[in-house]
Amino acid sequence: MRIPKLLVALAALAALAGCGTSEADSAGEGGGQVTVRIPDPGNAGVLALGKKDGSLAAALAKADAKVEWTGSAGPFAPAAQAMNADQLDIATGSITSGITSLAQTPGFKFFTATAPDPVGEGILAKKGSGIDGVEDLVGKKVAVNQGGTGEYLLLKALAEHDIPASEVERVYLRPDQTAAVFNTGKVDAWAVWAAYAVSELGTGKAEFIVDGKEIGSDNYSLTAVRTAFAEQHPKVVKALYDYLHENSAREKKDPARYLNVTTDAGPQALNGEAERIQTDFTARGGTVEPITSADIKRFEAVARFYAEQKVTKKPVDIASHVLDVERL
């Protein structure tokens, strides 16, 4: 499952740095238990439940490792910077945000892939706004996260409808700050994914005018590992993959169990219609899998599309930044 990003990178990086440990401290005295640093998963998902019930700790212990929850899950771009700076070992993001991070100087590799969300990502508009299809976006303002899922979804939708990107104004915003802008009408639509879309859909006041499946999205969700960590601790990476793979399948079969893991109240919780929508999205989504050669071809196509759309200066090399987790 994507994330501006660049405007908040330094702040997020500072927060991660305050909680992190150095490479020298990643194992106990005498080369004992390895510490793997992962962003806190919050209130939902496989890692959230694994943190609460102790199953993740048990799985990692078999590889002589333990987890340190560092900072909080969020945009991939600052997480990528944190991995580059040896302040984080694992992060999750979309292939789209991954491509823009790879265009920098990456110190990470991808080792899992989850198929694009067919119904949980798309372009939101207010009901009754007169924006009922992609063609209605011409001349309008659409909020997107720069270089990530939002910008990809918008550009992909416009390309699919032969609409020049210049005919729609992209408004670059952090996803966690976009809801207020969207709800006050300062933007006309919002290209977004489930983590932020569900709350809006749950109000009954907004709807997708087009979703990921209709767009033809190849916006895979990927898990990245710091390159040096993977080289030094391949068994830990494999243990983490096995845990994510097995439990993502369980989550797909029983989505409700993975929602409101630590609290069913407050801004982190989903209730009512929003909870029903998220449960449906998860049941129809993908599971964590190894990255195949066919996946890499899809990623390369996205990289070419980003270059064509001038999001990146040139196609980004993907294959050299993929780890074959099944060979670890």
Residue that terminates a domain, selected from 167, 190, 211? 211
Q: Give the chain's domain count.
A: 2
Count, in order, helices (H) and strands (E) of the chain. Answer: 13, 10
Are 128 and 52 contained in the same domain? no
Query: Does residue 68 belong to any structural domain of this protein?
Result: yes
CB-based contacts of 325, cutoff 8 Å, min separation 6? 111, 112, 237, 238, 241, 290, 291
Question: Which residue in 247, 255, 325 sits closest to 285, CA to CA?
Answer: 255
* Same domain, yes or no: 106 and 130: no
Q: In this structure, is residue 22 part of a structural domain?
A: no
How confident is the model at residue 162, as a pLDDT? 97
Same domain for 271 and 322, yes or no, is yes
**Owning domain of residue 175:** 122-211
Q: Write down how long the chain is.
A: 328
- Beta-strand relationship, 189-192 and 141-144: parallel
pLDDT given at position 25: 42
In a shared domain, residues 198 and 241? no
Among candidate residues 185, 211, 237, the one where a domain is terminated:
211
Residue type, 65: A
Give the predicted TM-score (pTM) of the model: 0.88
Domain assignment present for 14: no
Asked if residue 23 belongs to a domain, the reply is no
CATH number of the domain that residue 168 is part of:
3.40.190.10
Task: Decide if 226 contacts 89 (C-beta within 8 A).
Answer: yes
A 10 A CB-CB count for 113 gives: 24
- Residue 1's pLDDT is 40
Determine, yes or no, domain membership for 289: yes
CA distances (Å), 80 to each of 85, 88, 91, 163, 327, in order?
9, 8, 7, 32, 24
Beta carbons within 8 Å of 37's beta carbon, 6+ residues apart: 20, 21, 67, 68, 70, 87, 88, 89, 90
Are 286 and 152 found together in one domain?
no
pLDDT along the chain (328 residues), means of 10: 37 39 42 91 96 98 96 83 94 94 91 96 97 98 96 98 98 94 97 96 97 96 97 98 98 97 93 97 97 97 96 94 94
- Pair 187, 227 in one domain: no
Same domain, residue pair 164 and 207: yes
Which residue, of 211, 233, 258, is where some domain finishes? Answer: 211
